[in-house]
Structure 1
Amino acid sequence: MTYSIWLEPSAKDKKYLQNIIYDLAKQYKAPQFTPHITLYSGINNARLTRKAVYDCRHITKMKVRVTGIRHSGYIWKTLYFDVGTSKKLAELNRILAKRLGKHAKYRFRPHISLIYKKLPNATRRQIAKEITLKNTLEFAKISIIKSSNVVRNWTPIMKISLK
């Protein structure tokens, strides 16, 4: 069992993303999950993870720019919104890497997954064409998730609201 640190959307944008995730999960018999941007993952130390999130307490809510919809054969990036890196996202990653860098190797590539399921390339392409993109989304919380390779076992253990 490892820990991940997520950036979660504000209520309005969470609803928009959750509807997409729910509809895709239902249609393709895939697991449901909370919309998020993974800030850091693969952390083995819960105490250190909490300290890293505490280091981010001064960060304010942020808007992120959605730069497109992409897909791949990699299950954790089956279909996702690509997100542009901003000063605030880079700052968050820098703060976390400073505290966690030697304890977990994580390459930060901000994105918002929409489904976790092995799907044929043609299916992924078709779904991508049908989804309506929002240009920007607001993110308002940082959370710690007890994570594993089984999505339904993901458990939130801490959340902080951004200012």
Structure 2
Amino acid sequence: MANTYHLWLAPTGPAYDILMEAITDLSRAYHAPVFEPHVTLLGSLPSTVEDISVRCLELGESLSPIDILLTEPGLADQYFQCVFLKTQETTALMNAHELARKTFVKDPSPYMPHLSLLYGHYSLELKDRITSTLSQNLRINFTSDMIHLIRSKSEHPVDWTSILTVPLSG
């Protein structure tokens, strides 16, 4: 698989610790991969890493720090959206996604901001049970003041690397 690139907004401080613990606990319980907590701003960017890096810097200069508000748990029938926390579709977040899309991709696919807690293919019953037992403490807010440019060499989180962080300075 060729490298693919993604833009993430990531928690820091206590929010990072709480979410990382939840992801690690679920991954251990269900034999799933561990990954860094993040909200994908835009995924699967086309182009070269040099071009993406330049555009990423431009994007950072255009955006202010973004408040991320995690709401109720959700689940989907997709590996990377197995169990997640919905992210409130604030004006700032949706505008940031729209600007990222205009900067990189002319792709009109719908954007559903979320923070994944578990990757995998599990039965609906199991995903329902997991979401019903998630702690209310996970419904937290954090401010993301950086874009992380992630290079993925495969679908496995062990092959995902942050290669550039850009402050949101707009």
- Root-mean-square deviation over aligned CA pairs: 1.9
In 1, distance between residues paired with 2:34 and 2:61? 28
Q: Is 1:156 the equivalent of 2:162?
A: yes
- CA offset at residue 122 of structure 1? 1.2
Q: Is 1:139 the equivalent of 2:143?
A: yes
- CA offset at residue 77 of structure 1? 0.7
Alignment counterpart, residue 16 of structure 2, candidates 8, 14, 17: 14
Give unpaired runs (5+ residues) of structure 2: none
Work out the number of aligned pairs and report it.
162
Give unpaired runs (5+ residues) of structure 1: none
Deviates more, 1:47-56 or 1:120-129: 47-56
In 2, distance between residues paired with 1:118 and 1:14? 25
Q: Which residue does 2:119 correspond to in 1? A: 116
TM-score (norm 2): 0.85
Q: Is contact 2:45-2:105 (8 Å) kept?
A: no
In 2, distance between residues paired with 1:49 and 1:139? 24
Give structure 1 regions of 4+ aligned residues with deviation exceeding 6 angstroms.
Answer: none
Q: Which residue does 2:77 correspond to in 1? A: 73
Helix, strand or coil for the counterpart of 1:57? helix
Q: Is contact 1:66-1:83 (8 Å) kept?
A: yes
The superposition leaves residues 122-153 of structure 1 with CA deviations (integer Å, 9 ceiling, x where unpaired) of 11111111111344421322101112322221
Q: Which residue does 1:91 correspond to in 2? A: 95
Q: Is contact 2:8-2:38 (8 Å) kept?
A: yes
Q: Is contact 1:48-1:100 (8 Å) kept?
A: no
Q: Is contact 1:3-1:146 (8 Å) kept?
A: yes
